[in-house]
Structure formats: structure tokens, C-alpha cells
Amino acid sequence: MPRSARYKSSESTFYHLLNRVAGEVTDYPFQRPYVARRFLAVFEFYLRLYFCRLASFSLLGNHYHAVVYVPQFRQLDRPQLHERARLRFGRLWRLKTRSWKDSDWSRFNQSLFDVSCFMQHVNGEFSKWYNRRHRRRGPFWAERFKNPELLDREALQRTILYCELNAVRAGLVPRPEDYKLSSAHWRWRGKKSDLLIPLEELFDPLAQQTVFCTYRSLLYHYGAVAPREGQRVIAASILQQEQQRGFAPPGLFLQPFRFFTDGLALGSHALVFRRLQQYRQKGWYRRRRHPIAQLDGRLFSLREQRSHAFCPG
């Protein structure tokens, strides 16, 4: 049975992008420094090429998370398209595009605002490099990438924290900023500021605190609570040290689970219900489902359906 087409919003939106490598569960290719460096180079190149902005990122041993903002499509003029083509093809860009017609430039313009094209380039180029380097055949990625849409600020903030705490949950580091292959480390060290969306656009500062302290406080209090038995957390002694430096009191962060990575949308009840109604009007969503409460009703999600129930054209 052919797989259903992927839904992509026609509006400006944030996505939580996730993909996992194929093979044994004990195979961790990204633990090799040169492999991780190559993936980051590919990822950063296409972030600069496409009209995407990065809010959060974490590269683990066998998978990665990224929260990416994709703006609504807009028509670019020919000089702007030439600039992107030069970035895409390098010195050969005139040779590569000399036979392009207006329709080709129009498709190129559309692709620059398409999350599927962005992920196809990232995943495809890296997998080809890895298979050549290791004389390997077959698919590198285990499945299609996932892209839950984040519909409001609450969903966005919690997903950012979820991504940046993955290394702590896995027991790789005691503090999120200690993990070098994550945006938590980049922000702590002041790296890649030209790639990361400023925290001021993502977190509302609390009274008498800077936005960076607000973000750090949420990150540490979120990471100090185990969402399930046996999962690693930020140690109480480390949290106490950070509280003494001025972090706000902890909130209720209990169940950061699969709804962050699976499904079609995440946000308030009103926004998720509105998206559900749009899907039903277009005939994409056929099952009698409603927004599903998460985190004691603080967020709601729309569960992904099988191909016969969700089939965008």
C-alpha cells in the first residue's frame, strides 16, 4: 500500500523534526566524532540555504531532534533566487541553472519554504556520504522523519526543553549544557548564534530575571523530574546550585513523552481543534477523534492516523 502524503502547513509554523538510524539498537554512528561533525556540517549548510530557523537541536548516538521554524511561502525575485542557487551549487551555479525555465525557478522558489525538501536534502546527502565512507548499502534512516507541528508558545517551549534534555535523560551528561552536540551547549558557550533563534523570541522573561535565566530555570526544573521510572534526571545537588544562582521555583513538569515526537499537531485545545476541523473539511481526517489532553490539560495533541484515516492530497 502506498504511504500517505505528508501534511505540511501552508502557514508559518514550528516543527519538531526527528529521525532515527536503521540497524541494531546498540549501533550509535553519531558517537564517532567525524560522523557527528559531518552531519552537523550538512545540517547547518541546508539551514542557511532554506528559509528555516533553528530553535533547538540535539544529536544523540542514533537519532536527532530539531525544532525548526518554517515561514510561509513568499515569492522571491530573480536576484534573490540567484543568490540561493549560488549557495546551493557553488561556483557551478550558472552552469547548473542555465537551462532553467520560469517553471524551474518557480519550483526552486517553492522548495526553499518546504520542510520536506529541507529534510530530504539533509537526510539524503548525509546518508549518501555515510554509505560511501563505510562501503555500506541500504537505507541509513530507519523510517520517514517525523514532524509534529507546534501550534502555540506553550508547545514550542516544552518541546525545546524536551529536545535539550535528551542527553541528560540518556545518562550521557549531568547537565544539559555539557552535551556539545546540542543547542543547550551552544547557547551556554555563545556558539552558533547566527543559526539559533534568540531566546527573546522563544521565552517570555519573568519578573526580575533575564530571558536566559528564565530559559535555564525551566530547563533545569524540567530535567530534575523523571518522566518515567528509571530515567535519568538532573541531580538535586546540581539543581540546588542553580537555584542559588537565581533560578525561579520549579513548575510541574511530569510527562514529556511520545506526544512530543508523534502525531500531527501540539498546542492549546482551541488551536488543535481548529486544525482538526480544517483536516475534516478537506476530507483528510476521518476518524471520530478530538484533541487529546496532555500534561494534565496544559497541552493538547492530535494523534497521527493510519493512511486510510489521514490522507492529504
Mean of pLDDT values over 117-146: 93
Q: Checking DSSP bridges between strand 149-150 and strand 53-59, what pairing results, if any?
A: unpaired
Mean of pLDDT values over 40-69: 96
pLDDT for 51 equals 95
- Please report, to the nearest 10 degrees, the dihedral formed by the alpha carbons of residues 111, 117, 122, 124 taken in order: -130
Q: Residue 227 carries which side chain, given as an amino acid letter?
A: P
* Pick from 5-9, 77-81, 189-193, 250-254: least confident: 250-254
Distance CA 230, CA 4 (A): 37
pLDDT for 19 equals 94
Report the b/e string of 98-111 with b at 16+ CB within 10 A: eeeeeeebeebbeb
Mean of pLDDT values over 195-216: 80
Q: Is 256 a residue whose pLDDT tops 50?
A: no
Distance CA 148, CA 304 (A): 9
pLDDT for 309 equals 43
Task: Please check whether residue 169 is in contact with residue 232, taking contact to mean a CB–CB distance below 8 angstroms.
Answer: yes
The tens digit of pLDDT for each residue in 10-30 reads 899 999 999 999 988 788 999
Mean of pLDDT values over 40-44: 96
pLDDT for 253 equals 41
